[in-house]
Amino acid sequence: MFFFISGISERSKELGRTTNLICPACGEYTSMTVSVFYKVLHIFFIPIFRWDRHYFATASCCGAVFEIDPEEGRKFESGAAQSIDPRYMHRTGNYSQTEVCAYCGEPLVPGALFCHRCGRPVS
């Protein structure tokens, strides 16, 4: 008798950060975390094949999530590009529901008029 163990799973990997950008969502000067999400076929818990790669950038200022064109994502992953051109980023419907302070990035309490961390007014 022979048992064959295989499966498909989804995985993600943080590729790094890109800095010195103006956020296309809120207009703030920010950095973004670039990640890749993909599916993996594994046999006996050993990854064999990866497919369906999607690249995303998450803005640290407002939590907006942008999908990155695959070609640009591959360039960033391989190290050929140090930053992502905003022309190749497309806003997704998935973004942080929590408001954050535009000055310090602290999550805000719903309905707050001032940031409890830095004291600046919420715009």
Tens of pLDDT along 51-93? 999 999 999 888 888 999 999 999 999 999 888 888 999 988 7
pTM of the model: 0.70
- How large a percentage of the chain has pLDDT more than 70? 94
Other beta carbons within 10 angstroms of residue 86's beta carbon come to 14
> Where in the chain are the domains?
6-91, 98-123
Residue 96 has pLDDT above 60, yes or no: no
Backbone dihedral region for residue 105 (phi beyond 0: left; psi -120 to 50: alpha; all else: beta): left
